Structure 1
Amino acid sequence: MSGLFSALGSFWAWIGNIFDPLCGPAGLFTWFASSTILACGDTGWGDEIAAGLKVTVAVALVTLPIGLIIGFLVALGQQSEEKSVRLAAGIYTTIFRGLPELLTLFIIYYGMQILIQSVLASFGYDGRVEINAFFAGVIALSVVFSAYCSEVLLSAFRAIPKGQYEAGDALGFHRGRTLRLIVLPQLVRIALPGLVNLWMILLKDTSYVSIIGLADILRQTGVAVKVTKQAFLFYTVACALYLGLAVISSFGLSYIERWAKRSEISR
């Protein structure tokens, strides 16, 4: 079994190297910076920055579905007929929209360690507990993203006429099927512009994970600056990478928006 995991790991590393936009066979640094301080390999900082780019993208892509799911559940809670559920959902959004993202990250990263340490100590375990920085970063960004996402989805829910629910009842659908077949497609179309903006914000917010030691774009370029003293060069590279991610996202999200509009027209 260990051999299988090793083989899968090697295959994934090979795929990552082939499609690496910076240090892959067709990467930017490979072609245009081979004789500079940004070169890939032992002679430059290209590999480190490329690894930071992968971490940034991974954090954003893992955070997105988790934040969407939590945000959707919170939006449903805000519409619940149970007053306690509405109150809990309202408190959740108020807290995580009101706290700075960096403070939320610190609370989750250090607070979870203290909490787990205390629980284990009650069972007689005195060893040191450390939370994985990637895991903590994803959880922190997810709760912040979900708090804003829930408000966007709540507004979209309220924009859907109540007659849509009544139509589902008239067709004999239970409420879950009405939500899935009738409400959810309209919800996606209405909420999409707001969710696009949140995705752009999420891309920028991934830079906070560098504070807890995760080797993302900002941390890797920061280390390079400390060693080489080439602050302008490396921070310009970091700017270019974040802007590149934003531009690529804009093209992809524009396609999704056009697809959503065509789907609505075809109905």
Structure 2
Amino acid sequence: MLHGYGSSILDGAWLTLTLALLAMLLAISLGLVGAACRLSPVKWLATLGEVYATVVRGIPDLVLILLVFYGGQDLVNRLALALGYQQYIDINPFIAGVCTMGFIFGAYLSETFRGAFLAIPRGQAEAGAAYGMSGLQVFWRISVPQMVRLAIPGFTNNWLVLTKSTALISVIGLQDMMFKAKNAADATHQPFTFFLAVAALYLLMTSLSLLLLRSVEKRYSVGFKTVEL
């Protein structure tokens, strides 16, 4: 059915999944830092966090991918030349893809985490302090577990969008499943067959992710009841 290209596309699917997971780890880190900055009482930190979230969310992902890959490569080579290094430095597309997707979705997650922290009643932190907990203990034992529960729906949405957006990384030469499907389609002149196979693989990834994250959400929601008005 796939004319011998099935194993190649599956290899690309594994690369796609690895890219998405590593990019999400980076996005979580940047999202937490961005949320902390936006909630900070220090004005310049709050402004920096807002600028990061606003600028990244306001520019199309494809434009940012091209800017980071080509602009970053040009910047690295200019710096290397200034330091006396004469050889051209070629940035690995996989590393560029992880960094770019992590940078983009870190901005989206900063909003998710910020909203989750703001949704926690202040009285709970005050109660923790009244019991003699330090600020760090209140943060890790009271705030973070509730933030995770409140952030899971938004996190799930961002993960699904990130997974699908990895298809854009093929434009910088990463041999993910979109790249390999395109090559197979060009070689066999059957684009519908190969792109349909890729669509099915993306649907499988996102569906399994949705089931897993919904089970995590249920686990964190144990003991909480939704009040219907």
The 2-side partners of 1:112 and 1:102 are apart by: 15
What is the TM-score with the length of structure 2 in the denominator? 0.94
* Runs of at least 5 residues in structure 1 that lack an aligned partner in the other structure: 1-35, 39-43
The 2-side partners of 1:120 and 1:264 are apart by: 55
Aligned match of 2:77 in 87, 109, 117? 117
Tell me how far 1:120 sits from its aligned partner. 1.2
The 2-side partners of 1:166 and 1:132 are apart by: 49
What is the TM-score with the length of structure 1 in the denominator? 0.81
Tell me how far 1:246 sits from its aligned partner. 1.3
Aligned match of 2:175 in 201, 215, 239? 215
Post-superposition Cα deviations, 1:48-70, rounded to whole Å, max 9, x if no partner, equal 10111001100111111111111
Aligned length: 225
Post-superposition Cα deviations, 1:130-178, rounded to whole Å, max 9, x if no partner, equal 1110111011111111101111111111111111221222122222221
Counterpart for residue 204 of structure 2: 244
SS at match of 2:160: helix
The 1-side partners of 2:134 and 2:41 are apart by: 17
In the TM superposition, structure 1's runs of 4+ consecutive aligned residues that sit over 4 Å from their partners are: none
Aligned residue type for 2:120: I
Counterpart for residue 262 of structure 1: 222
* Runs of at least 5 residues in structure 2 that lack an aligned partner in the other structure: none
SS at match of 1:151: helix
Aligned residue type for 1:219: F
RMSD: 1.2
The 2-side partners of 1:174 and 1:115 are apart by: 44
Q: Are positions 1:233 and 2:193 aligned together?
A: yes
2:2 touches 2:193 (CA, 8 Å); kept in 1? no
Structure 1 stretch displaced more, 115-124 or 131-140: 115-124
Aligned residue type for 1:262: V
The 2-side partners of 1:164 and 1:262 are apart by: 18
Which protein has the larger Cα radius of gyration, Structure 1 or Structure 2? 1
SS at match of 1:128: coil
Post-superposition Cα deviations, 1:12-67, rounded to whole Å, max 9, x if no partner, equal xxxxxxxxxxxxxxxxxxxxxxxx434xxxxx101210111001100111111111
Counterpart for residue 135 of structure 2: 175
The 2-side partners of 1:262 and 1:166 are apart by: 23
The 2-side partners of 1:176 and 1:130 are apart by: 43
SS at match of 2:221: helix
Identity in percent: 34
Structure scoring higher RCO (CA < 8 A, sep ≥ 6) equals 2
The 2-side partners of 1:263 and 1:129 are apart by: 54
Q: Are positions 1:65 and 2:25 aligned together?
A: yes
